[in-house]
Amino acid sequence: MASRFEKFSERARRVLSLAQEEATKFNHDYIGTEHILLGLIRESEGVAAKVLNNLKVDMEKIKSALEFIIGKGEKPTTGEIGLTPRAKKVIELAVDEARKQNHHYIGTEHLLIGLMREGGGYGSNVLESLDLSLDKIREETQNVLSRTVSSTSTSETYTGKKKDSGTPTLDEISLDLTEKATNGELDPVVGRDTELQRVVQILSRRRKNNPVLVGEPGVGKTAVIERLAHLITAGDGLIPETLMGKRLVTLEIGSLVAGTKYRGEFEERLKKIVKELTQAKNCIVFIDEVHTLVGAGAAEGAVDAANILKPALARGDIQVIGATTQDDYRKYVEKDKALERRFQPVTIEEPDGESTVTILNGIKKQYEDYHNVKITDAAISSAVNLSNRYIPDRNLPDKAIDLIDEAGSRVRIKNSFVPPELREAKKELDKTRKWKENAISGQQYEKAAKFRDDELEQSAKVEKLIKAFETNKTKDAVQVTIDDISEVVSMWTGIPVTRLDNEDKEKLKSIENVLSLSVIGQEDAISSIAKSVRRARTGLKDPKRPIGAFLFLGPTGVGKTHLVKKLAEFLFGQEDAMVRFDMSEYMEKHAVTRLIGAPPSFVGYEEGGQLTEAVKRKSYCVVLLDEIEKAHEDIYNILLQVFEDGRLTDGKGRVVDFKNTIIVMTSNLGSSQLSATNLGFSTNPDTKIEEADYNSIKEKIIKETEDSVRGFRPEFINRLDDRIVFHPLSPDHIFAIVDLLMKDVRERLLEHGLNLSWTTSAKKYLSEKGFDSKLGARPLRRKIQDEIEDKLSDDLLNEKFSAGDNIEISATKDGEGLIIAKKKATTKKSSSKSK
């Protein structure tokens, strides 16, 4: 049986083996309580058999009754036979019974008592029908055990493999990697020849023969040790004779400390292990996270694990392989010079893409077998490339392996839904089995026999449906493809990396049209943004830089911030799906620490930076730095690396990836150039703004951004993708903006069941009264609030309108005010509707 049964006695194991034989004999694809009882009867020498004999139980009668009840299946079983939930419960109760009686083994007597304690299966029902009870069996079991003269003649002791290892204390809290390698329980390991050779050399030294593998999480430190275990067990000459026959066991510090409640228990346990290792001389201990030795088990005034191990390590009495990260090695091990000199560091670097592909090809069979899929070569290459590009905060090969694993899981789940007819057939079968059990419990054997016949018929039907289902699955071999890998990356990161379908293509082609509906009169800015998004989505952008870095210039109120909001809404579905910073809050020199995090020993160090943490949580986003000219100049310096390399190091030394962000900065710098001319906001429809004048002013604004005193430094400007001067707004633009703001009011009224429309005269009034040549479009919002929203709120409170009413807003005859009134139902003029 499986290794979890290693504490079972030989006879108890034989009972389970006989139970499996009985299930096979009756063509059953499961091992139930009835099969365990048959196994106990066939095993005639154990304590359980003696107990049943002493209670005058007719074994043949039980056997005949069980065989009649359970019946025989129509077709021989194929594949592995598993335990039913009731049978598993019997085994759990047997283990519990042994623990209660302080037995260090699980014998046939414990299985018999577990069978009776479970109480709901065929096995216990048959025994109860013979007037046997749990108390009777327990009492007779004690009698049999007490009459036993020699514990070896009748008692069924634990026969696990580790009893002769010479390291019993270590075996209780460790895992034997060489044994797992022998049993084929470790995944194959590919590569790492150089690092492995260095480890073997250190292990073969006379003194200080303790290597410690140092590398970032996920680069394959543990895999090197697993490959060493493979080589030790293979015995094919790839390792020296000095290591042949060695045991390689892995020890967790948590297991070492667990259960040591009282002072001195931890030290005693560890010294015991050191003594066992010293005497055995054939054991190498691998300690993952070896830095946890420092301080482990050290209560007040006690000695920690590191200090207990130091003498044995120095003498070479024991051999230890450690593994830890660069940061933890520097923080804990290097500080303890005595501990550091006893270990020889071996640096494990992150493998390159080509090496990772080789590693994945070496282990893909294990994942194919587990998920029952076929992993294509293209999927493996894609996992390496996409994980490198979009998951920069983790290391190869771990992140690529995780991608393959989850993609396999995703594909398997999509293709493994059980057909409805099979689900229904299984429900009917379970129902029939339950009825049969109830009949047996009531000793209605004729009715149980009828249910048994129904069960056989339904079992055959279920088996037929399962075979058809499995055949259909194997006809078309399910493959893990590039698309599956891309979908998993998108789920992990939120970055759209899947292939473009027709809907995506149409959406990308229509960016300008969609944004132009909400942002009026800024075609140049919209076009520049749209191009950067399309470059990124088609995979043609520079992979080392952000999607785009833009500086929006122009006077207040022309739509700079509004465009960024609408871009976020287009990409993510909502306006607030962006990371926004008002740079007027970052005017002081120390404000830079708020963006990237405070350095060590400063207040707020553990909290991280506002900018770095936001982008770390959502790496695909729009970052808005509003009014950038108001920020302290030190903030410009940290943005240089973001614009050029798409990365920023936070206060904790972690690198945050900005390669999938769109960074937009707004500035009013140079707006005085517009105020100094007639080029601004005009509500006079006869006024035409000449493009030549705009270009002239644009050049002046661009030059002002390069001014050494008021503007930005050349290295900052040079890293931007574009500097965009927003156009002033024409009368047509003003009219369109009125429509946009009024539509927002209408949407809010719809929540009250009211509809809103407005006339051209109302639009003209609002556009003339709501604009200021210096403040842009923002006063228009305040005008609508004062003239419309405030009046409507009073009307709603006074119940002037009721649900279903149509409200119309028009200008007075003299054009100096607005009229808000209920629109008559007979009115059908389309001119009164909003554009």
DSSP label of 241: G
Residues ≥6 apart with Cβ < 8 Å to 57: 127, 130, 132
Distances, alpha carbon 148 to alpha carbons 41, 51, 145, 151, 157, in Å: 21, 13, 5, 7, 13
What distance separates the 2 farthest-apart alpha carbons in the chain? Answer: 120
Mapping DSSP to helix (H, G, I), strand (E, B) and coil, where does residue 30 land? strand
Residues in the chain: 835
Residues of the chain with pLDDT below 70 are 1-6, 73-79, 147-165, 235-237, 261-263, 296-303, 417, 472-477, 500-501, 601, 604-605, 670-694, 708-710, 773-774, 824-835
Query: What CA–CA distance (Å, rounded) separates 35 from 20?
Result: 7
Task: Write down the pLDDT at residue 348.
Answer: 93
Task: Write down the pLDDT at residue 450.
Answer: 81
Cα–Cα nearest to 157, from 107, 82, 207: 107
Query: Six-digit token pair at 796?
Result: 């709603």
How far apart, in Å, do the first and last CA atoms of the chain sit? 78
According to CATH, the superfamily of the domain at 502-725 is P-loop containing nucleotide triphosphate hydrolases (3.40.50.300)
Distances, alpha carbon 472 to alpha carbons 379, 414, 514, 584, in Å: 24, 14, 46, 64
Residues ≥6 apart with Cβ < 8 Å to 725: 553, 554, 670, 697, 698, 701, 702
**CATH number attached to the domain at 420-477:** 4.10.860
Task: Write down the pLDDT at residue 165.
Answer: 66
Query: What CA–CA distance (Å, rounded) separates 719 from 498?
Result: 29
Distances, alpha carbon 688 to alpha carbons 140, 684, 727, 732, in Å: 110, 9, 13, 11
Does domain 162-347 sit in CATH 3.40.50.300?
Answer: yes
Does domain 731-832 sit in CATH 1.10.8.60?
Answer: yes
Task: Write down the pLDDT at residue 6.
Answer: 64
Query: How would you list the strands of the sheet with 755-758, edge to edge?
Result: 755-758, 806-811, 818-822
Query: What CA–CA distance (Å, rounded) separates 3 from 117?
Result: 24
Helix ranges (H only) for 302-352 are 305-315, 326-328, 337-340
Backbone φ, ψ for residue 108 (5° rounding):
-65, -30
502-725 matches 3-159 in CATH topology = no
553 and 712 Cβ atoms separated by less than 8 Å = no
pLDDT tens for each residue of 769-822: 877 766 777 788 888 888 888 888 888 888 888 888 888 888 888 878 888 888
Backbone φ, ψ for residue 580 (5° rounding):
-115, 135
Name the residue with tokens 């075996």.
171
Q: Which residue ranges make up each domain of the chain? A: 3-159, 162-347, 353-414, 420-477, 502-725, 731-832
Task: Write down the pLDDT at residue 692.
Answer: 62
Mapping DSSP to helix (H, G, I), strand (E, B) and coil, where does residue 722 land? strand
Q: Which fold has domain 353-414?
A: Helicase, Ruva Protein; domain 3 (1.10.8)
480 and 374 Cβ atoms separated by less than 8 Å = yes
**CATH number attached to the domain at 3-159:** 1.10.1780.10
Task: Write down the pLDDT at residue 152.
Answer: 36
Query: Six-digit token pair at 526?
Result: 């919209």
What 3 state SS string does 618-675 have?
CCCEEEEEECHHHCCHHHHHHHHHHHHHCEEECCCCCEEECCCEEEEEEECCCHHHHH
Task: Write down the pLDDT at residue 175.
Answer: 87
Backbone φ, ψ for residue 310 (5° rounding):
-55, -50
Residues ≥6 apart with Cβ < 8 Å to 433: 451, 455
Task: Write down the pLDDT at residue 155.
Answer: 45
Enumerate helices (H) and strands (E) in the chain, giving the number of each. 37, 20
731 and 680 Cβ atoms separated by less than 8 Å = no
Backbone φ, ψ for residue 347 (5° rounding):
-80, 130
Q: What angle do CA 420, 426, 369 make, to 5 degrees?
A: 80
Task: Write down the pLDDT at residue 224.
Answer: 92
